[in-house]
């Protein structure tokens, strides 16, 4: 893919790229819909990534072409304008740089990716993080991987207009091989949690239902959490809480008395899910995969019943996974409403579980779902641009 990308770049712009930024997609192991409640998450970056080939321009313009989309685009680096399509994820980081007073130079860009789109594996965060990284290199700014995550996050909330949390961008920027990343979304402190030896594998199955965060359900959940918090504070349950993260399972009985049923269920998901993150990390550290799997199943029930973000397809994939020997536990991963399920499986059973889940899904829905075994991988980095650059640049962040 990299060679094709470099060729696309040459064919389009008549020169070699100066660098290629690579940013991975992510899968979230546990801690769903907790990030925008300032809580804990445990994603890992995966071995599928978006590549952005780049070379500087002196006229402050940005030109971009992507292998995934037919149309090319052009905009002004210092003042991009929102279009409502994929280009916004490229222009967003330029907006975020400008907003922070960082110089954003003109660039020629070409993009290729093997992160499936609309599958809940954060293809859009991977794109924004890769562009932010290319931009950092192009502008010579001293920015850390965490800065890139924050800039890419700002691109999404401030420019694209999705009120998402910071998990996806952090995972794409800071992922580590063979480990998950525990992120405290209030402080952005991170900690690596090794994924239990060679025994555990991560299987991801795509329901084939594409989801778009912008479609409204996500923003509605964000609003419901804010409303639940406001009601809890007003009722004196948690007068000083800044976010749902500040409530604990011990507050649930009082919360149930104070809130309407729907806000209560939304809050109960967030509060119990937040507590599950450290229990899950503890199980991984102890190599107790059955305990980790049981937490995934609990999380799934909570996402389905309390948070109401599952679908028939996701329910069916999880039930099929949980009914197959060698699968410790399954749940939907990402925002929900479609996208993928995650199955924690025994390494030597990965193919068998994929086969059995695929067959069960096909019997129910008449089509075979795509499945991938994903490996926890490192976060954003710079690869050499053209042959000339190989010696000069091979700087991991």
Among 168, 251, 298, 322, binds ligand GLA (CB under 6 A): 168
**38 forms part of the interface with ligand GLA (CB under 6 A):** no
Residue in the structure block whose two tokens are 């409204």: 216
**181 forms part of the interface with ligand GLA (CB under 6 A):** no
Q: How far is the CB of 124 from ligand GLA (least distance, A)?
A: 8
Task: Examine the residue annotation and report whether 348 is marked as an active-site residue of this protein.
Answer: no
**35 forms part of the interface with ligand GLA (CB under 6 A):** yes
For ligand GLA, which is the closer residue by CB, 32 or 251?
32
Tell me which of 35, 168, 246, 251 is the catalytic residue.
168
Query: Residues 286-307, buried b or exposed e (16+ Cβ, 10 A)?
Result: eeebebbbbbbbbbbebbbebb
Q: Given 3-state DSSP classes, what are the helix, strand and coil percentages for the chain, each rounded to the nearest 5?
A: 45, 20, 35
Q: How far is the CB of 313 from ligand GLA (least distance, A)?
A: 18
**36 forms part of the interface with ligand GLA (CB under 6 A):** yes
Kind of pairing between the strands at 40-57 and 179-184: antiparallel
Q: Judge whether 232 and 258 are in contact, CB under 8 Å.
A: yes
Q: How far is the CB of 149 from ligand GLA (least distance, A)?
A: 11
Q: How far is the CB of 225 from ligand GLA (least distance, A)?
A: 10
Question: Encoding tokens for residue 27?
Answer: 């899968």
**334 forms part of the interface with ligand GLA (CB under 6 A):** yes
For ligand GLA, which is the closer residue by CB, 35 or 38?
35
User: Based on C-alpha coordinates, what's the Rg of the chain?
Assistant: 21
Residue in the structure block whose two tokens are 């920015």: 143
**DSSP 8-state code for residue 189:** -
Residue in the structure block whose two tokens are 């996050």: 153
Q: How far is the CB of 168 from ligand GLA (least distance, A)?
A: 5
**306 forms part of the interface with ligand GLA (CB under 6 A):** no
Q: Judge whether 44 and 26 are in contact, CB under 8 Å.
A: yes
CA angle 326/330/333 to nearest 5° reads 140
Among 335, 344, 360, 380, binds ligand GLA (CB under 6 A): 335
Question: Encoding tokens for residue 114?
Answer: 């093997």
Which residues form the interface with ligand GLA (CB under 6 A)?
Answer: 32-33, 35-36, 164-165, 167-168, 334-335
């Amino acid at each position: 893919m990299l060679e094709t990308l470099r060729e696309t770049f040459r064919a389009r712009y008549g020169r070699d790229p100066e660098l290629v930024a690579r940013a991975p997609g992510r899968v979230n192991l546990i801690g769903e819909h907790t990030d925008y409640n300032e809580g804990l998450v445990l994603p890992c970056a995966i071995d599928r990534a978006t590549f952005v080939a780049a070379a500087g321009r002196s006229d402050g313009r940005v030109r971009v072409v992507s292998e995934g989309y037919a149309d090319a685009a052009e905009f002004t680096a210092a003042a991009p304008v929102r279009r409502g399509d994929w280009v916004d994820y490229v222009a967003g980081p330029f907006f975020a740089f400008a907003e922070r007073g960082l110089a954003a130079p003109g660039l020629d860009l070409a993009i290729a990716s093997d992160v499936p789109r609309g599958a809940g594996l954060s293809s859009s965060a991977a794109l924004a993080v890769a562009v932010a990284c290319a931009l950092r290199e192009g502008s010579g700014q001293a920015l850390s991987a965490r800065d890139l995550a924050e800039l890419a996050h700002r691109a999404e909330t401030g420019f694209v207009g999705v009120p998402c949390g910071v998990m996806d961008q952090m995972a794409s920027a800071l992922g580590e091989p063979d480990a998950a990343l525990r992120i405290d979304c209030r402080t952005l402190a991170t900690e690596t949690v090794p994924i239990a030896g060679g025994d555990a594998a991560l299987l991801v199955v795509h329901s084939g239902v594409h989801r778009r965060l912008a479609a409204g359900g996500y923003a509605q959940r964000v609003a419901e959490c804010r409303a639940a918090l406001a009601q809890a504070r007003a009722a004196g349950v948690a007068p000083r809480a800044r976010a749902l993260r500040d409530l604990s399972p011990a507050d649930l009985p009082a919360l149930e008395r104070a809130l309407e049923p729907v806000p209560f269920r939304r809050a109960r998901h967030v509060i119990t899910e937040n507590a599950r993150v450290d229990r899950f990390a503890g199980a991984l550290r102890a190599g107790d995969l059955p305990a980790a799997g049981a937490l995934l199943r609990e999380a799934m029930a909570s996402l389905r019943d309390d948070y109401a973000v599952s679908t028939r397809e996701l329910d069916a994939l999880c039930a099929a996974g949980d009914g197959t020997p060698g699968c410790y536990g399954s749940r939907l991963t990402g925002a929900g409403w479609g996208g993928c399920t995650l199955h924690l499986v025994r390494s030597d059973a990965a193919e068998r579980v994929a086969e059995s889940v695929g067959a069960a899904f096909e019997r129910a829905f008449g089509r075979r779902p795509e499945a991938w075994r994903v490996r926890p991988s490192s976060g954003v980095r710079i690869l050499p641009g053209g042959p000339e650059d190989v010696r000069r640049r091979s700087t991991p962040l």
